[in-house]
Amino acid sequence: MVPAVATTLSVRAPRGLLLHLLTFAVVLTAWTLVSASDVVSPAYLAPSPLEVWDAFVRANSYHPIGGGVDRVVRGEEGYFLWEHLVVSLRRIGIGLGIAVVVGVPLGLAMGLFRSFGALLGPYVDFLRSIPPLAYIGFLVAWFGIYDTSKVWLLVLAAFPPITLATINGVRGVREDQLNAVRTLGASQRQVITHVLLPATLPDILSGLRVAVGFAWTTVVAAELVNGLPGIGGLAYLSGTQNKIALSIACILVIGFTAIALDAVLRISEKTLAPWRGKA
């Protein structure tokens, strides 16, 4: 899983850094040796790290189409690789945004009003237990093959973890914290804004981290259908077209982006809820 990878990459001591560099060098060397050998043939199926780097650079620049033709093209499939990435990230951003706007209030309501939570709980559990990609067929039938169906898919993938984490957070709020703020003169609304929401924030942020992981895997898979521009779509298409170096470049970009996203969320968790685990 993404968080595990991110943890191994978080480097503290210089000695740790050295070990990481060493490991990385070993991996690169092994990769170069395999691609140089005849283990995999034809050779283009096993590009070397350098070839992957070249494919990465080409995909981010104007470059001649090759094969003796003079035409110069923009990146891959008309977009630079980073543009493919931005399109995928944008889809995630919108999907997650909607999931937060729907999931947090829903979780608050389900956590606050037990009977309401008991009533809707099974449905949220049900939605969570379904692999999001199972919806893609009927979402395409409903919303077409463009972005709408992909965003819907991301909302469906992201809102159950957010809602469940919010419910969990609300139920974990100590009764006396609510009582305390009431005896300080808080109105019903102030109880929610001054205690319930901040007390639930750490759980909402953890839910968000899980949701981002879900959404990222889902968007890449969702782009198998009419996914261009999109980093997942490009990874898939280039693979089917035997552009293995480009495909691997895309995969590396996907992996590193996921790690970076998680790192950003972990940092914001620490800045926004520094009391987590301490109080």
Partner 1 sequence: MSEPHDRSVVLSGVEHRFRARDGEVHALDRIDLALEPGEFLTLAGPSGCGKTTLLRLLAGFMEPSSGEITVGGRPVRGPGPERGVVFQQPTLFPWLDVRANVALGPRLRGAGKAERAATADRYLDLVGLHDVGHLRPYELSGGMQQRAQIARVLAADPDIVLMDEPYGALDALTRERLQDELLTLWRETGKTILFITHSVEEAVFLGTRVLVMSPRPGRIVLDEPARFSSDEAQVPPEELRALPAFTETVARVRGAIQHVEPPPRRAG
Which positions lie near partner 1, rule CB under 8 A?
A: 174, 176-177, 179-187, 190, 194-195, 198-199, 201, 273-275, 278-279
**Which one, 104 or 258, has the nearer CB to partner 1?**
104
**Which one, 127 or 186, has the nearer CB to partner 1?**
186
At closest approach, how far in Å is the CB of 179 from partner 1? 5
CA 238-239-245 angle, to 5 degrees, is 75
d(CA 64, CA 44): 20
**Which one, 90 or 194, has the nearer CB to partner 1?**
194
DSSP string spanning 78-105? TB-HHHHHHHHHHHHHHHHHHHHHHHHH
**Which one, 63 or 182, has the nearer CB to partner 1?**
182
d(CA 273, CA 206): 11
At closest approach, how far in Å is the CB of 90 from partner 1? 32
**Which one, 89 or 192, has the nearer CB to partner 1?**
192
d(CA 223, CA 227): 4
Q: Which residue has the tokens 């959404």?
A: 215
At closest approach, how far in Å is the CB of 170 from partner 1? 15
At closest approach, how far in Å is the CB of 187 from partner 1? 8
At closest approach, how far in Å is the CB of 208 from partner 1? 17
Query: Which alpha helices (DSSP H) does the chain contain, by range?
Result: 2-9, 14-36, 49-59, 81-112, 114-129, 136-143, 147-171, 175-183, 188-191, 197-222, 231-240, 244-272
